[in-house]
Amino acid sequence: MAQPFMKKDDDDEEADYSPFLGIEKGAVLQEARVFNDPQLDPRRCSQVITKLLYLLNQGETFTKTEATEVFFAVTKLFQSRDIGLRRMVYLMIKEISPSADEVIIVTSSLMKDMNSKTDMYRANAIRVLCRITDGTLLTQIERYLKQAIVDKNPVVASAALVSGIHLLQTNPEIVKRWSNEVQEAVQSRAALVQFHALAVLHQIRQNDRLAVSKLVTSLTRGSVRSPLAQCLLIRYTSQVIHESAGNSQTGERPFFDYLESCLRHKAEMVILEAARAITELNGVTSRELTPAITVLQLFLSSSKPVLRFAAVRTLNKVAMTHPMAVTNCNIDMESLISDQNRSIATLAITTLLKTGNESSVDRLMKQITNFMSDIADEFKIVVVEAIRSLCLKFPLKYRSLMNFLSNILREEGGFEYKKAIIDSIVILIRDIPEAKESGLLHLCEFIEDCEFTYLSTQILHFLGIEGPKTSDPSKYIRYIYNRVHLENATVRASAVSTLAKFGAMVESLKPRIFVLLRRCLFDSDDEVRDRATLYLNTLGCDDSEVETSASTNEFLFGSLEVPLANLETSLKNYEPSDESFDINSVPKEIKSQPLAEKKAPGKKPTAGLAAPPSGPATTVDAYERLLSSIAEFSSFGKLFKSSAPVELTEAGTEYAVNVVKHIFDSHVLFQYNCTNTIPEVLLENVAVIVDSSDAEEFSEVASKPLRSLPYDSPGQTFVAFEKPDGVPAVGKFSNMLKFIVKEVDLPTGEAEEDGVEDEYQLEDLEVVAADYMLKVGVSNFRNAWESMGADFERVDEYGLGSRESLTEAMNAVIDLLGMQPCEGTEVVPSNSRSHSCLLSGVYIGNVKVLVRLSFGIDGQRDVAMKLAVRSEDESVSDAIHEIVASG
């Protein structure tokens, strides 16, 4: 007896061996031949199917021939009456998903099963047919599917309904015809059928607001059985609330009572869903939030991790808009910092960072320091980003937060994590002038021992821009020059450029920098040597007393006049020939520009900054260079402002045109960015004909048509107007695109010689007062306001009439003035009846303007506003009032 026992022990490892050990696709396909046996062995066939499933589930794929072979063999198994095998066959057919021309082989068998007396055959046949079928077959079986939806067996009904969800994507018009049956199924007593039917019905009607609203109204009154269906209903309800928000006059929110009652549901899933829906309501009030926050707080100490996660994730979102509402939960959240589940801990930390006040920062940082050591990089990145926003919120706390960042920078971590820390330090340096010197030194220390070439070069570039402007630039030289000795060629070359920047910008350092640069002439890498030679020669090493000229600086350190991505594409397309590459042929249009601008709101340079943002040139710089390179417009003087692109065509039209308004002192220039989206045509002599009869103060002075506009290669055409000098003239312009169309022979890409003149109506364009205002923030509004003085202060009161909310009224005024909201005052706390907002900007003529807006709203939603303006020029203060009065 002992022996076999011993043996088992010995073979313990063997016992764990997989029954699929050494499984091989070819062999299994051979085995599948048993499906063709005249005498089927169901057990053996099931085993082979299991092996095939195992292969497929491991990510193995069958070639077309293999799949066809298996499929044909499997269809033979319909002959067997073995129930277990039949169930496997259904699954196998779904897994192989035969091609359209093969499906026909099984349709008759499946149709037979679909009409079978055995319910389970019906349910499975429906699922398989719907999975493999195409539209034509679907119309044939539609009748059976409709019957199945209202079948008294819930499994059959569910099978048909879930099939409906999938078919909606491929054949929506057919499924939409099942509306009545689905409606009936929604009333089913079987919980799952109701859940599936509700999902289908909503998808069928999702574009019909009224129908969705009716559906929600009837169901919220009735009884929904399964918690899953209840969750769906809550989602649909909040969608209805969201869409009807604008219509409610009384201030009562429709369906709110329903949502609130769901907070007392017995299923946790429903409670959380309802709480989440309430917190996401538009303009939710504190009264509405309170019950939701209370249940979420209870879930924070739940024993189930998923509930804790769901609660803290919701609270994290609430903290972004209503930080005060969440502060009650802070104690519970602090205990979550030690949660086993690091996702929960990270969410708790980031929520606390959002809701914490200035006094709790230090305590919080202490807790986080312990926490950081045992979480993964991706969580650390989230924390670093939260700390960055916290620091921007409480600039006075920069010292402890910067220390924290520099400490974690020294610890182990991957590239993304280090990059997030570096990015944060760079942003803090830019936005908090006091943090600059310590931040730069942290960066210097980091590059002394940095394994990432990319980060080293980025930091060196940044040092080159910021370092020379500090009180003692010389202290950074040592760190930079060390790179020339210790690093790879890429970093060495970067260090040479940075040294040269110090030399060019700090006269006193120049001779010493030259000594260092000369040493680089003997580097082993040609790029490093080339750079050193270039800088030594252009910066004037022969006569170190000569001040570096502006043009040399521009040549060496200015950025290219074309977007790098465009240059790269042009270079790739360039075929070596006698004609050398011409940089002027590179398109200057920045394709992804509107997107890039949307991505970085609120990262605008602030007036408190000593330096403009570095790195990629700002859009204004890019425009300025572009415009000054065009002779017709070079006499317009300094560019004051360029607007964000305004779309003049709808998305998806044959020609896409947007316009950028460039404002100069006595000119306004429209830059029309045109894209031809039709491969078969080439446009030539493209110009925009502008009718300025509704803009009296403007007169057209120049235009620059575009010679040719090939497919998908954006180009620009310009129209310039003169206006009275320094006057913020406004007006409306209508635009017509005119061009010659030539057909293109696609294979050769050659255009026909003769073209046809054509035109294309564009949307109208307006120049408004806000176009004459630059959004420039100040870091300390109060100081700026006091130092501006009350000499040119103008105060007046305005009635803004009935408004939807304070936020809406305030945003209208902000948009009208085009100024930068400061210190987060653009957020109106929920439910408040009055609010003050601080704005700052620079008006045309480079006049600084500060504005204090105070709003009050009464029971009838009438909004009153007090506007106080201070500026450096009396007439500008008046002009601001005029803008508001006439807006």
Partner 1 sequence: MLLAVLFANSEGNILVERFNGVPAEERLHWRSFLVKLGAENLKGAKNEELLVACHKSVYIVYTVLGDVSIYVVGKDEYDELALSEVIFVITSAVKDVCGKPPTERVFLDKYGKICLCLDEIVWKGYLENTDKERIKRLIRLKPPVDF
We find the least distance from the C-beta atom of residue 157 to partner 1, in angstroms, to be 10
Whose Cβ is closer to partner 1: residue 345's or residue 884's? 345
For residue 444, give the amino acid letter: C
Decide: is 343 part of the binding site for partner 1 (CB under 8 A). yes
Site string for partner 1, 189-228 (x = CB under 8 A): -x-x---x--x----------------------------x
We find the least distance from the C-beta atom of residue 653 to partner 1, in angstroms, to be 30
Give the binding-site size for partner 1 (rule: CB under 8 A): 64
Q: What is the DSSP string of 704-768?
A: E-EEEE-BT--EEEEEEEE--TT----EEEEEEEEEEEEEEETTTTEEPS--EEEEEE---EEE-
We find the least distance from the C-beta atom of residue 59 to partner 1, in angstroms, to be 6
Whose Cβ is closer to partner 1: residue 120's or residue 211's? 120
Whose Cβ is closer to partner 1: residue 199's or residue 504's? 199
- Quick one: DSSP state of residue 580? P
Decide: is 415 part of the binding site for partner 1 (CB under 8 A). no
We find the least distance from the C-beta atom of residue 276 to partner 1, in angstroms, to be 9
Residue 353 and residue 357: Cα distance in Å, rounded?
Answer: 8
Torsion, Cα of 469, 474, 476, 480 (10° steps): 110
Decide: is 304 part of the binding site for partner 1 (CB under 8 A). yes
With CB under 8 A as the contact rule, which of the stretches 114-122, 135-143, 349-357, 606-614 interacts with partner 1? 114-122
Which are the contacts of 349, defined by CB distance < 8 A and separation ≥ 6? 337, 367, 368, 371, 383, 386
Q: How distant is the alpha carbon of residue 64 from its chain centre?
A: 39
- Going 333 to 337 to 341 to 343, the CA torsion angle's sign is positive
Which are the contacts of 688, defined by CB distance < 8 A and separation ≥ 6? 657, 670, 672, 703, 717, 719, 735, 736, 737, 738, 762
- Quick one: DSSP state of residue 373? T
Decide: is 441 part of the binding site for partner 1 (CB under 8 A). no
Decide: is 489 part of the binding site for partner 1 (CB under 8 A). no
Asked whether 399 and 365 are in contact (CB, 8 A), the reply is no
Beta-sheet strands, E only, within 464-546: none
With CB under 8 A as the contact rule, which of the stretches 116-124, 395-403, 604-612, 789-797 interacts with partner 1? 116-124
Q: From the CB of residue 29, how many other CB atoms can be counted at a distance below 10 Å?
A: 18
Decide: is 15 part of the binding site for partner 1 (CB under 8 A). yes
Q: Which of residues 46-105 bind partner 1 (CB under 8 A)?
A: 46-47, 49-50, 53-54, 57-59, 83-84, 86-88, 91, 94
Candidates 34, 67, 105, 155: give the one binding partner 1 (CB under 8 A). Answer: 155
Q: Which of residues 225-284 bind partner 1 (CB under 8 A)?
A: 228, 231-232, 235, 268-269, 272-273
We find the least distance from the C-beta atom of residue 79 to partner 1, in angstroms, to be 16
Whose Cβ is closer to partner 1: residue 341's or residue 703's? 341
What are the C-alpha distances in Å from 709 to residues 18, 64, 404, 675, 678? 64, 45, 53, 7, 11
- Quick one: DSSP state of residue 606? B
Asked whether 833 and 856 are in contact (CB, 8 A), the reply is yes
Residue 149 and residue 770: Cα distance in Å, rounded?
Answer: 59
Site string for partner 1, 537-576 (x = CB under 8 A): ----------------------------------------
Asked whether 33 and 48 are in contact (CB, 8 A), the reply is no
With CB under 8 A as the contact rule, which of the stretches 138-146, 299-307, 447-455, 655-663 interacts with partner 1? 299-307
Asked whether 427 and 435 are in contact (CB, 8 A), the reply is no
Whose Cβ is closer to partner 1: residue 190's or residue 865's? 190
Whose Cβ is closer to partner 1: residue 57's or residue 508's? 57
With CB under 8 A as the contact rule, which of the stretches 151-159, 386-394, 728-736, 839-847 interacts with partner 1? 151-159
Candidates 34, 174, 306, 620: give the one binding partner 1 (CB under 8 A). Answer: 306
Which residue is it, tokens 């196998």? 92
Whose Cβ is closer to partner 1: residue 49's or residue 773's? 49
Residue 335 and residue 329: Cα distance in Å, rounded?
Answer: 10
Please report, as ranges, the residues that interact with partner 1 according to CB under 8 A: 15-20, 46-47, 49-50, 53-54, 57-59, 83-84, 86-88, 91, 94, 118-121, 124, 127, 131, 152-155, 158-159, 162-163, 165-166, 190, 192, 196, 199, 228, 231-232, 235, 268-269, 272-273, 304-307, 309-310, 313, 341-344, 376, 378
